[in-house]
Structure 1
Amino acid sequence: MAGAEKERLREPDEWRRWGPYLGERQWGTVREASNGADAWTSFTHDQARYRAYRWGEDGLAGFSDDRQRVCLALALWNGADPILKERLFGLTNGEGNHGEDVKECYFYLDATPTSSYQRMLYKYPQRAFPYEDLVATNGKRGRDDPEYELLDTGVFDDDRYFDVVVEYAKAGPEDVLMRVTAHNRGPDEATLHLLPTLWFRHTWSWAGTTEPSLHTLGTGTVRAAHPDLGVWWWYADGQLMVTGNETDDERVFGIPNTTPYVKDGIERAVLHGDLTALAPDGVGTKAAAHHVLTIPPGGSETVRVRLTTAATDEPFGGFDAVISARREEADDFYDEVLGGDPASDERLVCRQALAGLLWSRQYYGLDVERWLTERGADPIGAPTGLSNEDWRHLVAGDVVVMPDKWEYPWFAAWDLAFHAVPLAVVDPAAAKQQVELLLGRRYLHPDGQLPAYEWNFGDVNPPVHAWAAWFVYQYDRDTTGSGDRAFLERVFPPLLRNFGWWLNRKDADGRNLFQGGFLGLDNIGVFDRNAPLPAGGRTDQADGTAWMALFCQNLLQIALELAHEDPAYLEHAATLLENLAWIAAATNHVGNGLWDEEDGFFHDVLRHPDGTSTPLRVQSAVGLIPLAAATVVGAQLRHEHPGLVDGMRGFLDRHPAVRAALWGHGAQTDTDGPVLFALFDESRLRRILTRVLDENEFLGPYGVRSLSRWHAEHPYVLTLDGVEHRVGYQPAESDSSMFGGNSNWRGPVWFPINAMVVRALLHLHSYYGDGFTVECPTGSGRRLTLEQVAREIGDRLLATFLPGEDGRRPVHGGQTRYRDDPHWRDLPLFYEYFHGDNGAGIGASHQTGWTALVALLSRVPVREGVR
């Protein structure tokens, strides 16, 4: 049994063909919307019950093949709800004081990379689900009020709910076992309708495919025939119900149905006793096995189903033994991958963080040209204003690690890069595949731009793909003892194209200072950097410029690695070194750069139309990214590539102004030690760290804040053309309406930014060594090396999820149920970002995309390496 999952990872991809690739929300997405402009109202949660999707599917605790053609999920009914619970519910972008927000209680407990074992928990109330209350109460709350969550409604009072545990295990690559165990946590006997559901994604009426069929064959057996996947067998206890995955046109559009067997047919039969929507011959494209379970207080009931290519007379023979074996193999896998005490809280947090990451793999399908054509756009005609008209080449049909499965059920470029890094801990091959995905011709724009995210592929995200590629390569090399050179050779050319796009498109006047726009930092700035500035001009961005410096450094590392076997890459390395030198010199140019000597910090600079400039003295993550752009290359560079070093010396001799602006850190060519590429010297580094490590500024109890707490009493104010623009410290939700609501970069802790700071500190320690110490926290008298500072930040981040002395996990805020109730106690949530002062989770509650970085930051062997 030992190493069974590791062995599966070495086998061909058939073990990965089936997995949790079904989303939890397909409604309200651009790809399903009629025009893309207002996706939330174009395809609503209510319509999702009646309207067949096109590009993807959703379901509760779902499983599917990697093209989402055959889908398996769970439906529930407590006898009180007005609808069948087939998918998660949440607020749309305009319904609450947070915006889009899932309003359910569910938890990803375990997962393996090949999906040989998966487990999640859904908490289903026995009272009527408070749909209307959640919408109405959140709608009445203002921006300064807390969100109204499901636990606040009282629907779980007296423990009147079911814990529904869903497990998947594979007996083979094409043999999927699903076990659902419902626990009655309440004081009284309660009835639960439990319906495992199997269906085909609807492609036959529009994509030119042959219609598949589900056909009941006696008690508990369904024959599933699909033109691409062949014949499968679905075995289930319970009463089989079959209908069609067809839109209920009468309910959605007010026109007659062409068939009585429509998507909501099973709901109508279970809730209302209407059997007219069930196919009497048992043939259709959607089926459910209806179980009516009466569960005593404290008791449980279990339902089993099996989906397999092998017909059998004993589908449940050895069923539980297979699930037990796969669960033990998962334990063995994480014992090896994570190490440490399996019973520790730290181990629990890391394993559930990685489980969420692996559960968040979803199929993403979209053909932009087809989408546009169906909405009347002419491929070579005038623009129509439809979404993503400049991205007609984009054709997606892949399993992608999403930010989460509800609030962000689509890829975002910089999120995906951050996802690949913790994914490398459990599945380096998949991590490499995710890095490569957006660099391929089906995604990368012909001009070299990476697609940002579904709402606007043409927006810009921070360019961190090169960093992710280099990290994954190093981690894989250090783990296996052999570097995947072919991977670097594949990603280097498109990364270089993307670097060129940035050079050509985001440097307004060729001065090597960049104006990226949005760059993921939402409204942390004085104004929306993605919109025309209030008084004209432009903003040279400290973060945009630093991201480009880091991009250049990472490309340089890749080029040097490839040059070991192919000297042709040295020419690329030389060009990248020169680019880096120009960027560093521009950043540090006295009086015209981004360093503010008065503040001892990096800032954006507002360039006015008349040629004057104003430094925007906000102490924020914008000024921390230059700290993150620090990379060390080993001393062997000088010995292995003397020509490269000589060339750099010649370049600096020809450009003495560049040499003077580098503060000795663009290219140290006259010493024998390692080479540090950075945007600052030792003196400036100490000034920056004094602020970063000050608990009254950036260093919070649970990580580095995105805005200095100093601004709580000293807000930054800038007046332009008589209009006052203000930035003040907000530890959680922002009070700004800049992005249509409480956009959230004015003080909270974000894991990706912290990860980049930790990375930089480790690099800087490898250069300066143990002799370089700083006060941490500032003013404490406690001296730490930079490696120890990195560990300190990592420990604070991890502490967000660990029980404190009072037994409370800070991530859960003031919600005592997670502390006091044994059925909630070990269920940390992995939010989008965290309160800057108390660590409470804020934003999307299941963003174990980049927040899964906690599994990396907590691991000593990874910390000790320089990535």
Structure 2
Amino acid sequence: MTTTLATAPEGLTRLRLRQEATRVLLTNWTGNSTVPSHTLYPHQWSWDSAFIAIGLRHLSPRRAQRELETLLGAQWADGRIPHIVFNPAVRPDAYFPGPDFWRSSTSGRAAGAPAWAETSGIVQPPVHALAAALVHESDPETSRRRGFLERLYPRLTAWHDYLLHERDLTGRGLVCVVHPWEPGMDNSPCWDGPLHRIVPAPGSSFSRVDLVHGEQAERPTDLDYGRYVRLAADYRDHGYQDTGTPHPFVVEDPGFNALLIASEHALADIAEALDRDPQQHHERADALTESLLRHLWQPEAGMFLCRDGHTDTVIEERSVTGLLPLIIPSLPSQVAAALQHTARGPHFGLGSTTVLAPSYDLQGTAFDAYRYWRGPAWFNTNWLLERGLRHHGGQTHALRERLLDAAGTSNFAEYVDPRTGQGRGTPHFSWTAAVVLDLLARLQDGEEPR
């Protein structure tokens, strides 16, 4: 099968692409942070802001710093960075589940939720230290003058401490997620098996505001949403405590852990920039990498697979999360080579049957090119793959060009059909614009993006 990328009516030059990406981020800026989308996602999201800061650093390092500072300003005392920080200026019914559902300042008080902000109680992938290191490198002088790394380093260390100490729920040295929204790939088929144990909340107990702004065929089903609500409500009603709470959903996700490893390496770089000892971060990264390889690497699949913490069984579904460990610099060469082979093989078709790597196995029974994380290609995961391929000597020029072209032709879509590049989800999406700016900035300088 030959991939076909839709052609923009006017054909965006690289200069025009940069201008339009800039426009997206400026439009979505709220004064202290950036919303992913003013319609579908009108608050601040955790891993979105990390990717947004990576792009913003090419427009305004000061604003990129502010993006991360605002997010970390809502950090809980136990170290967790919540996956949503709610904007009090946005009406409560603009997004569900909103602040009235999470009730962080009351239900999360024992876990250290701030009294001055309303947030969710779950987390998202830890990309933040990597983003902070890249933001610092874009303007070290301003960063040092403002004490940017000095202020963020203890917060980022506390964030990683929380994940490593409170979320190793299986005792295997890996971080576990307790809700499908935490790995960021909300309705991935990887979660279907573990989710079957969850009795969904009745449909009458919540309102699907997401369907006001998104096509039903592209969003999670009502059944899945009922299960998401049940899990979140139960976690809330147990005070967002990790120890002693019955977690019916416990999954070891390779992408989540790989991003923590990459961010531990970034924390080592930050420590060195502050003239501090980086050794603990290197040691933690190495220990995590060893556990990841021991428990989640599946040689016969040629990739990492998720593991159900309740049944201690491998989840056989192939997802892009299992390719993300390519971003680990110290990954063994034979594992990196196998991941590259899998990415380009029939399950993901990168460079042959797909424009961009899909979020889920092309040959999987649950593959759906339109529905959220069940098949569409996302720009942030493909940016991570491009970075990982480059770390391990892979050819990335074609992938970078397809990333840029797909963003321009899809009007900076939230995600795209992996085979055609046709836009899906909401347009003018912030992290799509951000990764475009990051790639363009390095190409313009004649450098390989790092």
Q: TM-score, normalising length from structure 1? A: 0.39
For residues 697 and 624 of structure 1, do their structure 2 counterparts lie closer, same or farther at Cα, with a shift above 3 Å needed? same
Instruction: Give distance in 1, aligned partners of 2:33 and 2:143.
Output: 26
Q: Deviations over 1:262-286 (max 9, x none)?
A: xxxxxxxxxxxxxxxxxxxxxxxxx
Q: Which amino acid letter does the alignment assign opposite residue 703 of structure 1?
A: L
Q: Which residue of 2 aligns with 1:347?
A: 15
Q: Which amino acid letter does the alignment assign opposite residue 625 of structure 1?
A: L
Q: Which residue of 2 aligns with 1:447?
A: 78
Q: Which residue of 2 aligns with 1:689?
A: 340
Note the 1:797-808 alignment, pairs <5 A: 797-801=403-407
How far off is 1:498 after superposition? Answer: 0.8
Q: Does the aligned pair in 1 maintain the 2:50–2:128 contact within 8 Å?
A: yes
Is 2:399 the partner of 1:762?
no
Is 2:134 the partner of 1:471?
yes
How far off is 1:509 after superposition? Answer: 3.8
For residues 692 and 485 of structure 1, do their structure 2 counterparts lie closer, same or farther at Cα, with a shift above 3 Å needed? farther
Q: Which residue of 1 aligns with 2:111?
A: none
Q: Which residue of 2 aligns with 1:507?
A: 168
How far off is 1:850 after superposition? Answer: 3.8
How far off is 1:846 after superposition? Answer: 2.2
Q: Deviations over 1:304-328 (max 9, x none)?
A: xxxxxxxxxxxxxxxxxxxxxxxxx
Instruction: Give distance in 2, aligned partners of 1:801 and 1:522.
Output: 22
Instruction: Give distance in 2, aligned partners of 1:502 and 1:790.
Output: 32
1:845 aligns with one of 419, 427, 430: 427
2:376 aligns with one of 745, 748, 751: 748
Q: Deviations over 1:443-469 (max 9, x none)?
A: 111111112114351111111111110
For residues 485 and 509 of structure 1, do their structure 2 counterparts lie closer, same or farther at Cα, with a shift above 3 Å needed? farther
Instruction: Give distance in 1, aligned partners of 2:403 and 2:145.
Output: 31
Q: Which residue of 2 aligns with 1:707?
A: 360
Instruction: Give distance in 2, aligned partners of 1:501 and 1:623.
Output: 23
Is 2:261 the partner of 1:549?
yes
Q: Which residue of 1 aligns with 2:245?
A: none
| 3-state SS of 1:794 partner | helix
Instruction: Give distance in 1, aligned partners of 2:68 and 2:445.
Output: 19
Note the 1:648-663 alignment, pairs <5 A: none
How far off is 1:603 after superposition? Answer: 0.3
Q: Does the aligned pair in 1 maintain the 2:143–2:149 contact within 8 Å?
A: no
Is 2:442 the partner of 1:856?
no
1:596 aligns with one of 298, 307, 319: 298
How far off is 1:839 after superposition? Answer: 0.8
Note the 1:721-736 alignment, pairs <5 A: 728-733=366-371
For residues 546 and 758 of structure 1, do their structure 2 counterparts lie closer, same or farther at Cα, with a shift above 3 Å needed? same
Q: Deviations over 1:764-816 (max 9, x none)?
A: 34xxxxxxxxxxxxxxxxxxxx2xx22211101112255xxxxxx4x2xxxxx
Instruction: Give distance in 2, aligned partners of 1:529 and 1:415.
Output: 27
Is 2:154 the partner of 1:493?
yes
How far off is 1:344 after superposition? Answer: 6.0
Instruction: Give distance in 1, aligned partners of 2:446 and 2:198.
Output: 44
Instruction: Give distance in 1, aligned partners of 2:370 and 2:381.
Output: 16
Q: Which amino acid letter does the alignment assign opposite residue 732 of structure 1?
A: Y
Q: Which residue of 2 aligns with 1:558?
A: 270
Note the 1:419-434 alignment, pairs <5 A: 419-434=52-67
Instruction: Give distance in 1, aligned partners of 2:356 and 2:57.
Output: 23
Is 2:313 the partner of 1:614?
yes
Q: Which amino acid letter does the alignment assign opposite residue 62 of structure 2?
A: A
For residues 498 and 481 of structure 1, do their structure 2 counterparts lie closer, same or farther at Cα, with a shift above 3 Å needed? closer
Instruction: Give distance in 2, aligned partners of 1:594 and 1:762.
Output: 23
For residues 597 and 797 of structure 1, do their structure 2 counterparts lie closer, same or farther at Cα, with a shift above 3 Å needed? same
Q: Which amino acid letter does the alignment assign opposite residue 574 of structure 1?
A: Q
Q: Does the aligned pair in 1 maintain the 2:124–2:183 contact within 8 Å?
A: yes
Q: Which residue of 1 aligns with 2:234?
A: none
For residues 505 and 692 of structure 1, do their structure 2 counterparts lie closer, same or farther at Cα, with a shift above 3 Å needed? same
How far off is 1:685 after superposition? Answer: 1.2
Q: Deviations over 1:62-98 (max 9, x none)?
A: xxxxxxxxxxxxxxxxxxxxxxxxxxxxxxxxxxxxx
How far off is 1:485 after superposition? Answer: 8.1
How far off is 1:852 after superposition? Answer: 3.2
Instruction: Give distance in 1, aligned partners of 2:318 and 2:22.
Output: 33
Q: Does the aligned pair in 2 maintain the 1:403–1:849 contact within 8 Å?
A: yes
For residues 697 and 865 of structure 1, do their structure 2 counterparts lie closer, same or farther at Cα, with a shift above 3 Å needed? closer
In the TM superposition, structure 1's runs of 4+ consecutive aligned residues that sit over 4 Å from their partners are 480-485, 528-537
Instruction: Give distance in 2, aligned partners of 1:415 and 1:450.
Output: 13
Q: Which residue of 2 aligns with 1:383?
A: none
Of structures 1 and 2, the one with the larger relative CO (CA 8 A, separation 6+) is 2
2:285 aligns with one of 580, 588, 592: 580
Q: Which amino acid letter does the alignment assign opposite residue 296 of structure 2?
A: L
| 3-state SS of 2:43 partner | coil
1:519 aligns with one of 170, 183, 187: 183
How far off is 1:845 after superposition? Answer: 1.8
For residues 607 and 530 of structure 1, do their structure 2 counterparts lie closer, same or farther at Cα, with a shift above 3 Å needed? closer
Work out which of the two has the higher radius of gyration on C-alpha atoms and give 1 or 2: 1
Q: Which residue of 1 aligns with 2:219?
A: none
Note the 1:177-576 alignment, pairs <5 A: 345-363=13-31, 399-440=32-73, 443-453=74-84, 454=86, 455=98, 456=102, 457-477=120-140, 486-516=147-177, 517=179, 518-527=182-191, 533=197, 538-563=250-275, 569-570=276-277, 573-576=278-281
Instruction: Give distance in 1, aligned partners of 2:24 and 2:262.
Output: 29
Instruction: Give distance in 1, aligned partners of 2:420 and 2:368.
Output: 12
User: How large is the RMSD of aligned CA atoms in angstroms?
Assistant: 2.6
Q: Which amino acid letter does the alignment assign opposite residue 430 of structure 1?
A: R
| 3-state SS of 1:858 partner | helix
How far off is 1:761 after superposition? Answer: 2.5
For residues 553 and 801 of structure 1, do their structure 2 counterparts lie closer, same or farther at Cα, with a shift above 3 Å needed? closer
Q: Deviations over 1:182-213 (max 9, x none)?
A: xxxxxxxxxxxxxxxxxxxxxxxxxxxxxxxx
Q: Does the aligned pair in 1 maintain the 2:195–2:249 contact within 8 Å?
A: no
For residues 532 and 461 of structure 1, do their structure 2 counterparts lie closer, same or farther at Cα, with a shift above 3 Å needed? farther
Q: TM-score, normalising length from structure 2? A: 0.72
Instruction: Give distance in 2, aligned partners of 1:405 and 1:746.
Output: 24
Q: Does the aligned pair in 2 maintain the 1:752–1:851 contact within 8 Å?
A: no
Q: Which amino acid letter does the alignment assign opposite residue 345 of structure 2?
A: D
Higher helix share: 2
| 3-state SS of 2:176 partner | coil
Instruction: Give distance in 2, aligned partners of 1:451 and 1:845.
Output: 25
| 3-state SS of 2:285 partner | helix
How far off is 1:547 after superposition? Answer: 2.2
For residues 447 and 425 of structure 1, do their structure 2 counterparts lie closer, same or farther at Cα, with a shift above 3 Å needed? same
For residues 710 and 532 of structure 1, do their structure 2 counterparts lie closer, same or farther at Cα, with a shift above 3 Å needed? closer
Q: Which amino acid letter does the alignment assign opposite residue 132 of structure 2?
A: A
Instruction: Give distance in 1, aligned partners of 2:71 and 2:414.
Output: 22
Q: Which amino acid letter does the alignment assign opposite residue 540 of structure 1?
A: E
| 3-state SS of 1:508 partner | coil
Instruction: Give distance in 2, aligned partners of 1:863 and 1:596.
Output: 38
